[in-house]
Amino acid sequence: MAAAAAPVPAPEPGRAPPAKATPVPTPATLTYWEGTRAGELRLQRCGGCGRARFYPRPACPHCGSVEFAWFKASGRGRLHSYIINHLPPPGFEADVPYVVAAVELEEGPRMMANLVDVAPVPEALALDMALEVRFVPRGQQMLPVFRPARGAAA
């Protein structure tokens, strides 16, 4: 005989809702997170092949070189792809639906980020639309998000 599934416990009265996950900087990402707190999107440029990369890491994914320098990216990009999330992870129950985008940065790399200041419906989300970064607080960090670029043609 199969055991009955355990009932989902009801939330305890007065218990705080789950907190949103917050990034924890590592030695490899500390400069990146210091940048977001300064209102800058910082990328690494390889000293071997010259290509920009994201996410931050010690070695180039293209040529393997460990030589690199940080630089301030333009913060501009284009909407490469997206999903509209209706299934919130813990802490995001009040945020759904929201847009998770793959943004192709002007410098070349693609990064995942939430899209804000736009309706979370396909009719409002044109692929290749111009985007710009902004930063929103989460815990001790500032997280990059993107919005439609101001003054860009629709």
Summarize as ranges the residues that interact with Zn ion (CB under 5 A): 46, 48-49, 60, 62-63, 65
Measured distance CA(32)–CA(40) in Å, rounded: 8
Shortest approach of Zn ion to residue 80 CB, angstroms? 22
* CA–CA distances in Å: residue 90 to residues 6, 11, 55, 104: 20, 13, 24, 28
**Going edge to edge, which strands form the sheet with 42-46?**
52-53, 42-46, 68-72
Q: Closer CB to Zn ion, residue 24 or residue 49?
A: 49
Shortest approach of Zn ion to residue 8 CB, angstroms? 49
- Is residue 34 within 8 A of residue 28, CB to CB? The reply is no
Q: Closer CB to Zn ion, residue 59 or residue 116?
A: 59
Q: Closer CB to Zn ion, residue 59 or residue 84?
A: 59
Shortest approach of Zn ion to residue 47 CB, angstroms? 8
